[in-house]
Chain A
Amino acid sequence: MNYEPVIGLEVHVQLKTATKAFCGCANVFGSKENSNICPVCLGLPGSLPVLNEKALKAALKVALALGCQVRSFTKFDRKNYYYPDLPKNFQISQYDMPFSEHGSLDISLEDGTKRIRIKRVHLEEDAGKLIHPEEGAESLVDYNRAGTPLLEIVSEPDLYSPDEAYAYLTDLKLILQYLDISDCDMEKGSLRCDANVSLRPAGTTGLGVKSELKNMNSFRAVRLALDYEIRRQEAELGDGRPVVQETRLWNEKKQMTLPMRSKEEAHDYRYFPEPDLPPFVISASEIEEARQGLPELPKEKRNRFAAAFGFSGKDAATLTAAKSFADFFEACLELYDKPKKIAHWLIGPVSFHMNSRGRDIRDLRLTPASLVELVDLVETGKISQLAGKEVLQEMLESGKPAAKIVEEKNLAQVSDAGSLSAVIDEVIAANKKSVDDFKAGKENAVMFLVGQVMRLSKGKANPKTAREMLIERLKA
């Protein structure tokens, strides 16, 4: 029997508002434990929540960017369960009237794009953090994170492989970054992902029994966990054993999913409308205003780059893979209208430098103006392409402008006939065989001679000029 996997993803995104969802405590990462707390986020007796206006605005942006229908009337509900990281032992969330539903995300795959339906996007508050020291019989609680605004984005089970899941996460994260509403940093917990995966006989349309996977700390881990779980479920079914519906935790060390140790019970969350928060009415004009205010999204930008500048899909994707990168590119264009040339340098040497150090372009000692200066030096022949790379390296390390580096390192390319003349004559004199080969009809022999000119000039000769001059003289 052949099985095919069916995957749904639930992503939680922490919004980077200045304050928490329902109180004025600072929404920051890395503070000393229990220092950003107040009666509201601690859930002290008598405390009451009031919604942060920026949270709903940010949520609206995401909903529209994902093509969701936004409800004109929305409310919060209480999700009741007991856990030490949940101060009130209920979470303020949204149940039956989430503020947006029925959207989609087109993900980029090797062989094209695929539309993944988004079931819903809703707002809720985050819980605190639990720490479980190895030794001892106690756990520690830090409520700094309690009350942070979260967006929950739930996909329909439209993903059919771990690779598709990875693509979904990458493309979703890109949109969220473009909207600038979250840091989307899985290591810091500002983006979290749970996965539901089940198998069904190939070619059928029903849904099998699913496992819920948690504790994956990177997109890579999500792919590995799904891969492992799919193979595990296949093995179970292959041996005639049914898949048990359960929550399984990804174990990074052992590279496997394991069932949770605590006894699992079906939660009865006893949802009911949050009486402390009056409902919210979102007008059509507000939605339209938010829609107008959306920045150009990755897909639109990719398509525009390909159409306007003739980039390949791959290059367009690379240029838009981070908003900061695309912004940098466009800033360069404003100073120097040679998109392909700029792109060549950004996609090539600059990206190489960025990737080898795991950096964002904003962290580099490079400005659009300084890059443009370098590109212009190469384009006008003042330095060779090769020298240009060396200059870039120095620019990134020292922050010095290109022109200054060229001067200091004496990298100016020699292009005038007068300076090159002597070298040309010397090379022709010293390489009789190649000269004869060329005269005999081997056009390519000139390449060797050009190489010699480069060597003798210590790389400073303009190879194009050298080639022209050699051919002219040899033909004479």
Chain B
Amino acid sequence: MNLHVLTAMELRSRLDSGSVKPQDILEDLRGRYESVEKKVMAFARPPSFECREARAAGALKGIPVVIKDNICSRGDLTECCSKILKGFVAPYDATVVEKLKESGASIMGKANMDEFAFGSSCETSCFHPTKNPWNLDCVPGGSSGGSCACVAADEAIAALGSDTGGSIRQPASLCGVVGMKPTYGRVSRYGLVAFASSLDQIGPITKDVRDNAVVLGVIAGHDDHDATSARISVPDYLAETEKDIRGLRVAIPREYFVEGIDPDVRQAMMEVKAKLESLGVRFGEVSLPHTGYAVAVYYIIATAEASSNLARFDGVQYGLRQMGRAEDESALIGMYKETRDKGFGAEAKRRLILGTYVLSSGYYDAYYLRASRVRRLIKEDFDKVFKEYDMVLTPTSPTPAFRIGEKTGDPLSMYLSDIYTISVNLAGVPAISVPCGFARSGLPIGMQLIGRPFGEADLYRAAFHYEQSTPWHKQKPKL
């Protein structure tokens, strides 16, 4: 029974008809895991294929879901793929995990990620790098590289990732799967180990658009535990996907189609435009004039917030504790410094230093405060566009997956690969990455549709109609 190649909805109908039982799915996934995981290395640690019958009965009853290693699930190791959280067993469930369980889903295991979500390649995990299922010498993208790789490799039916600057969309694009970053506040952040509090969102990673709509419908909604979660009702995303897209107005921002874009990506985007036009979509060119400042704004605000959010990792209550050296100011400070020195990887340290610097006395105004003003300009760019258009189309990533090790030497070049996804988080708007073809090398290419606040339904509509008139979602990597 090749159940692992199916989507959640396909499994849903088989489960409902009784032709398949939840344990059948898990058994099949176990077989798949044993067969390909040693090549892909998508999981942070071995998952569980134990079938625990869910009493709850919702849209995801009987469906096993993989969650990123930075989402807390009670009784499970939740280590953000970092040494400093070694042994941290979460004593509570993230709200999204509660919602998954209430829907009847089971949490299968934890996906590999860049340490603390700092990265675009899944190479900074303290455990191991994850490989791109389409080419094992290439990165899957990051930081939700493990979540995307396991869905792409059919090691998982569906997964959750987190997105702060593109961490769901970019790896989804590189792995040929569907990844949605919801509007900021659409999904509760309670239980998501914080990276940048004003940018983070949890979102679904799936094999196709309809699965994505179903999962978002389950995890979205206001949460009393999260003061930044929106009090806006959750539409029936699945029902919305079917609606007609004729007359939809899509904008193409000229700043996104300049130097540095891979020729295969450029070609794929032209074909996307043609296909969408044939489906009745109307296009126009717009300007998002502050695009060029987005990476700078992001790397100030995100690292500043991260430097504060990660201060709690100090060896006092949980995780790694290392004692310091004799020459430290005091045993306590020595403990802090040694624990954090041994516990954090290089990328984490780099961001902590940068983030601490831009908040420090004398520099706050020039960096953090200034960046937060430019952030408003970036958001206003989108507000203006959404007055005339329903969504914006861009490539998700300027290039397909790069080789493992290719960008680790130059952090700035790694940061610049987030150029298409970063503005979205700064503006707090939703965006979805959908497979739109392959490069000549055989690596997947993804297109990004950016919507207005709480406009996920429109995004699903456009993505679904595009997907159904193209063959990409049916293709699988050869593993």
A contact residues vs B (CB 8 Å cutoff):
39, 42-51, 78, 80, 82, 84, 87-90, 137, 141, 262-263, 268, 270-272, 275-278
Q: Which of B85, B189, B194, B224 has the most CB of A within 10 A?
A: B194
Given A88-B311, A275-B305, A276-B197, is A45 in contact with B225 using a C-beta cutoff of 8 Å?
no
In the bound complex, what is the Cα–Cα distance between A275 and B368 (angstroms)?
A: 13
In the bound complex, what is the Cα–Cα distance between A43 and B71 (angstroms)?
A: 15
- In the complex, the number of residue pairs spanning A and B with C-beta atoms less than 8 Å apart equals 97
Chain B residues near A84 (CB-CB < 8 A): 316, 332
In the bound complex, what is the Cα–Cα distance between A82 and B196 (angstroms)?
A: 19
Chain A residues near B224 (CB-CB < 8 A): 50
The residue in chain B whose Cβ has the minimal distance to the Cβ of A139 is: B332
23 inter-chain pairs at a CB distance below 8 angstroms, sorted by A residue, are A44-B90, A44-B91, A45-B90, A46-B78, A46-B193, A48-B190, A48-B225, A49-B227, A50-B224, A80-B308, A84-B332, A87-B317, A88-B311, A90-B308, A141-B316, A270-B361, A270-B364, A272-B304, A272-B359, A275-B196, A276-B194, A276-B197, A277-B228
- B23 in the interface (beta carbon within 8 A): no
A46 contact from B190, B329, B356, B360, Cβ within 8 A: B190
- B330 in the interface (beta carbon within 8 A): yes
In the bound complex, what is the Cα–Cα distance between A173 and B190 (angstroms)?
A: 38
Given A47-B190, A82-B336, A89-B314, is A270 in contact with B359 using a C-beta cutoff of 8 Å?
yes
B92 engages A80 (CB within 8 Å): no
In the bound complex, what is the Cα–Cα distance between A78 and B359 (angstroms)?
A: 11
Given A270-B356, A270-B359, A272-B364, is A48 in contact with B72 using a C-beta cutoff of 8 Å?
no
Chain A residues near B191 (CB-CB < 8 A): 46
* Chain B 173-201 interface residues, beta-carbon cutoff 8 Å to A: 189-194, 196-198
* Chain B 302-350 interface residues, beta-carbon cutoff 8 Å to A: 304-305, 308, 311-312, 314, 316-318, 329-333, 336
The residue in chain A whose Cβ has the minimal distance to the Cβ of B319 is: A45
B92 engages A268 (CB within 8 Å): no
- Extra inter-chain contacts (14) besides given A44-B318, A268-B361, A272-B308, CB under 8 Å: A47-B190, A48-B226, A84-B332, A88-B311, A89-B311, A89-B312, A90-B308, A268-B360, A270-B359, A271-B364, A275-B196, A275-B197, A275-B228, A276-B228
The residue in chain A whose Cβ has the minimal distance to the Cβ of B304 is: A272
Chain A residues near B356 (CB-CB < 8 A): 270
- B426 in the interface (beta carbon within 8 A): no
SS class, residues of chain A in contact with chain B? loop
Nearest 6 A-B pairs (CB), nearest first?
A: A89-B311, A275-B197, A270-B359, A275-B198, A45-B193, A46-B191
Chain B residues near A272 (CB-CB < 8 A): 304-305, 308, 359, 364, 368
- B88 in the interface (beta carbon within 8 A): yes
The residue in chain A whose Cβ has the minimal distance to the Cβ of B226 is: A48
In the bound complex, what is the Cα–Cα distance between A84 and B333 (angstroms)?
A: 10
In the bound complex, what is the Cα–Cα distance between A141 and B226 (angstroms)?
A: 27
Q: Which of A44, A49, A80, A277 has the most CB of B within 10 A?
A: A44
- B80 in the interface (beta carbon within 8 A): yes
- B251 in the interface (beta carbon within 8 A): no
Chain A residues near B26 (CB-CB < 8 A): none
The residue in chain B whose Cβ has the minimal distance to the Cβ of A270 is: B359
A48 engages B227 (CB within 8 Å): yes
Chain B residues near A87 (CB-CB < 8 A): 312, 317
- B94 in the interface (beta carbon within 8 A): yes
Distance to closest chain A CB from B353 (angstroms)? 13
In the bound complex, what is the Cα–Cα distance between A262 and B329 (angstroms)?
A: 9
SS class, residues of chain B in contact with chain A? loop
Distance to closest chain B CB from A176 (angstroms)? 28
Chain A residues near B192 (CB-CB < 8 A): 46
B90 engages A46 (CB within 8 Å): yes
B228 engages A270 (CB within 8 Å): no
A45 engages B360 (CB within 8 Å): no
In the bound complex, what is the Cα–Cα distance between A276 and B189 (angstroms)?
A: 10
The residue in chain A whose Cβ has the minimal distance to the Cβ of B330 is: A262
The residue in chain A whose Cβ has the minimal distance to the Cβ of B71 is: A46
* Chain B 358-373 interface residues, beta-carbon cutoff 8 Å to A: 359-361, 364, 368
A277 engages B316 (CB within 8 Å): no
The residue in chain B whose Cβ has the minimal distance to the Cβ of A22 is: B227
Distance to closest chain A CB from B189 (angstroms)? 6
In the bound complex, what is the Cα–Cα distance between A270 and B316 (angstroms)?
A: 22
The residue in chain A whose Cβ has the minimal distance to the Cβ of B335 is: A84
In the bound complex, what is the Cα–Cα distance between A141 and B316 (angstroms)?
A: 9
The residue in chain A whose Cβ has the minimal distance to the Cβ of B229 is: A48
The residue in chain B whose Cβ has the minimal distance to the Cβ of A23 is: B225
- Residues 64-97 of chain B, each 1 if its beta carbon lies under 8 Å from chain A, else 0: 0000001110000010100001001011101000
In the bound complex, what is the Cα–Cα distance between A277 and B85 (angstroms)?
A: 26
Given A82-B311, A90-B308, A270-B361, is A46 in contact with B194 using a C-beta cutoff of 8 Å?
yes
In the bound complex, what is the Cα–Cα distance between A13 and B368 (angstroms)?
A: 32
Chain A residues near B225 (CB-CB < 8 A): 48, 50
In the bound complex, what is the Cα–Cα distance between A268 and B356 (angstroms)?
A: 10
In the bound complex, what is the Cα–Cα distance between A82 and B339 (angstroms)?
A: 13
A45 engages B361 (CB within 8 Å): no
Chain A residues near B189 (CB-CB < 8 A): 46, 48
Chain B residues near A88 (CB-CB < 8 A): 311-312
The residue in chain B whose Cβ has the minimal distance to the Cβ of A269 is: B361
Distance to closest chain A CB from B200 (angstroms)? 10
In the bound complex, what is the Cα–Cα distance between A51 and B312 (angstroms)?
A: 20
Distance to closest chain B CB from A268 (angstroms)? 5
A46 engages B336 (CB within 8 Å): no
In the bound complex, what is the Cα–Cα distance between A269 and B411 (angstroms)?
A: 28
Q: Which of A43, A47, A272 has the most CB of B within 10 A?
A: A272
Chain A residues near B317 (CB-CB < 8 A): 42-44, 87
Distance to closest chain A CB from B361 (angstroms)? 5
A278 engages B360 (CB within 8 Å): no
Distance to closest chain A CB from B308 (angstroms)? 6
In the bound complex, what is the Cα–Cα distance between A49 and B316 (angstroms)?
A: 21
In the bound complex, what is the Cα–Cα distance between A50 and B196 (angstroms)?
A: 18
B331 contact from A47, A48, A50, A137, Cβ within 8 A: A137
Distance to closest chain A CB from B478 (angstroms)? 38
In the bound complex, what is the Cα–Cα distance between A80 and B312 (angstroms)?
A: 10
In the bound complex, what is the Cα–Cα distance between A84 and B332 (angstroms)?
A: 9
Chain A residues near B336 (CB-CB < 8 A): 82
In the bound complex, what is the Cα–Cα distance between A263 and B333 (angstroms)?
A: 12
A45 contact from B78, B332, B368, Cβ within 8 A: B78
A80 engages B311 (CB within 8 Å): yes
Chain B residues near A89 (CB-CB < 8 A): 311-312, 314
In the bound complex, what is the Cα–Cα distance between A410 and B419 (angstroms)?
A: 97
Chain A residues near B364 (CB-CB < 8 A): 270-272
Q: Which of A45, A48, A87 has the most CB of B within 10 A?
A: A45
In the bound complex, what is the Cα–Cα distance between A47 and B361 (angstroms)?
A: 28
Chain A residues near B333 (CB-CB < 8 A): 82
Chain A residues near B90 (CB-CB < 8 A): 44-46
A46 engages B94 (CB within 8 Å): yes
B228 contact from A90, A141, A278, Cβ within 8 A: A278
Distance to closest chain A CB from B90 (angstroms)? 7
The residue in chain A whose Cβ has the minimal distance to the Cβ of B80 is: A45
Q: Which of A43, A263, A275 has the most CB of B within 10 A?
A: A275
Chain A residues near B330 (CB-CB < 8 A): 262
Given A84-B332, A90-B311, is A278 in contact with B227 using a C-beta cutoff of 8 Å?
yes
In the bound complex, what is the Cα–Cα distance between A275 and B225 (angstroms)?
A: 14
Given A80-B308, A90-B308, is A270 in contact with B360 using a C-beta cutoff of 8 Å?
yes
In the bound complex, what is the Cα–Cα distance between A271 and B308 (angstroms)?
A: 10
B312 engages A45 (CB within 8 Å): yes
In the bound complex, what is the Cα–Cα distance between A47 and B197 (angstroms)?
A: 11
In the bound complex, what is the Cα–Cα distance between A78 and B198 (angstroms)?
A: 14
The residue in chain B whose Cβ has the minimal distance to the Cβ of A80 is: B308
